[in-house]
Structure 1
Amino acid sequence: MPRPAPSPAPRLLAFDLDGTLIPDGGLIVPLATRAALGRLHALGVKVAVITGRDSPPSDVLDAARPDAVATNNGGSISIGGRPHTEIHFDQADLLAVLAHTLQDARVIAFTAGRIYVDAPPGTPTPPWLAQRDHAPLAELERSHDRVLKVGFYHPGIRGWRDALSQSHPHLVLTGAQPPYSDFLTVTPSGADKGAALVAVAQALGIDMQRTVAFGDSDNDLAMLELAGQAVQLGDLPLLRPHADVTLEGPEALGAYLDTLAQRLEQAAAQPVETL
């Protein structure tokens, strides 16, 4: 019986951040992961960060040294530190997204330069937001800033997600289900992590079969479906059917990447057979 063809060696690793490359809400890449990423870089493996955040923490950029960064769930892409793609809401879609009826919801609209916030009176400003250029959401219309992403925080957010998915099925909706049951992210059509992975791979000249995607939540599903290999962090049932490998969480990622680097180093050390 012929042996099955080995899977092609990966050339691009695409990482979600929270719950994947770093712990949820964290800022620091675990040391074992940092060390393994250094070995993989030395082997010529490319790295992409594809995150729902609007900017990666500085330690992530230092540890991963990414060849590409996609933020806002893929709505903003840079390749080699240079802008590549930005996808914004058109005005009609943005007005529909902001026309919610959720009482005491916290709403955050992200633009390339400023964050606009609507929060119930007395709501404390999160530390990450206090350090950023932000303004009341009411000022957004006068600013003419173009919005990349809108986030909602509310315990009843699932109802708004269902309504939006019916009225505007072309928008990209993630969250409002475990592990982010009280949080919904809305991005324009085409701003999803799967499309971002394809765009990054094409820009770097890498075949999709030689990509590996790592993620832990529903906004990672699109890239896990499209990658040559899918690695799930955690145990979210939604992702299980799409995962080739499952890891417990960010602390287990370093060992997996270390094994991958070792395999690639061994392959590189083998003599090339000639006829």
Structure 2
Amino acid sequence: MSARPPTDLPLLLAFDLDGTLIPDQGREVPGPTAQALARLRTLGVRLAIITGRDTPPRPVREAVQPDAVATNNGGRIEVGGELHAEAHFTPAELEAILAHELADARVVVFTAGGLYVDLPPGREPEPWMQARSFRPLAEAPREGIVKVGFYHPNVAAFAARLRASHPHLVLTGAQPPYTEFLTVTPVGAHKGAALTLIAQALDIPLERTVAFGDSDNDQAMLELAGHAVQLGTLPLLAPHAHEQVASPEALGAYLHGLADRIAARSAAAAET
């Protein structure tokens, strides 16, 4: 689908991170994208990061200078650098989630202040875990948990069981492109809700928002945004996207085109 910026010029752009604003597991925003974001900020467009990660890398924050950040798939939201909302599991929900049948699974439990990991004997942590300090899962609290992640080949079967027993919980992954990774977040903790809360906090109508995403956990915000841009070609997202951009490396050109339109509209308005 060719690049076609939204008819109504946007007031808020909301970006997923991995596979969208940055390459998967990356830490740097590509140069053309960073330059385009700086132009858009100057033109008065507000920017938000809405990610499954528990924290955006510092270089990404510095490049984007976001007005709002939602992490843990929308479970924790900061607006203007201040905590705006945070969703937690109840102890009973957490007990049900951790009572899994995935032998030798790698399990990661997230709080706002850190992470706790259960690694099978002889298994190495994921590269992103190696760059972080973490503690054993046995030391995790039973309150204040914002997200649980599972790494295992059979997460799809576990996800199906958990959806049947706890349909109010939010499950993402366990399907392409993350067939061996499952994320569980509390009720209402998804990217669509995060986009809605951020737009409300910034006093921006949802119809004047543009959401960018590449994976299944982005579906909810693509459905709700005034304009939806899919990065890549995941079939699951195609019905919810108004247009597609090939990759994070191609995003900069799209955003520069959007900035050109906004600048032209502003110049025309100033002449009248």
2:61 — aligned with what?
61
* 2:159 aligned residue: 161
Alpha-carbon distance in structure 2 between the residues aligned to 1:133 and 1:63: 25
Equivalent in the alignment of 2:251? 253
Per the TM alignment, residue 130 of structure 1 is displaced from its structure 2 partner at its CA by 3.4
Q: Kindly provide the CA deviation profile for residues 231-272 of structure 1, in whole angstroms up to 9, marking residues without a partner as x.
A: 000000000011001011101100000000000000000046
1:34 aligns with 2:34: yes
The 8 Å contact of residues 12 and 199 in structure 2, kept in 1 or not, is answered as yes
Aligned-residue CA RMSD (Å): 1.3
Find out whether 1:129 has 2:129 as its counterpart. yes
Correspondence for 1:3: none
Question: Could you tell me how far apart the structure 2 residues matched to 1:258 and 1:191 are?
Answer: 32
Residue 171 of structure 1 is matched in structure 2 by 169
Q: Where does residue 202 of structure 2 map in the other structure?
A: 204
Q: Which residue of the partner structure matches residue 49 of structure 2?
A: 49
- Normalised to the residue count of structure 1, the TM-score between the two structures is 0.94
- The corresponding residue for 2:178 is 180
Moved over 3 A (4+): 271-274
How high is the sequence identity, in percent, across the aligned residues?
Answer: 62
Once the two structures are overlaid, the 10-residue window that deviates more, 124-133 or 13-22, is 124-133
Q: CA deviation at 1:145?
A: 4.5
Q: CA deviation at 1:127?
A: 4.1
Show the counterpart of 2:118: 118
SS in 2 for 1:238: coil
The answer to whether the Cα contact below 8 Å between 2:50 and 2:74 also exists between their aligned partners in 1 is yes
SS for the counterpart of 2:237 is: helix
Corresponding residue for residue 7 of structure 2: 7
Gap change, CA 1:271 and 1:117, over 3 Å in 2: closer
**More deviation in 78-87 or 122-131?**
122-131
Q: How far has the Cα of 1:131 moved from its partner?
A: 3.8
State the match for 1:85 in structure 2: 85
SS at match of 2:139: helix
**Post-superposition shift, 1:121?**
0.7
- Match of 2:254, SS state, is helix
- Residue number in structure 1 paired with 2:3: none
State how far apart, in whole Å, the 2-side matches of 1:51 and 1:220 are. Answer: 9
Q: Distance in 2 between matches of 1:114 and 1:16?
A: 21
The count of residues paired between Structure 1 and Structure 2 equals 267
Contact 1:113 1:133 in 2 (8 A): no
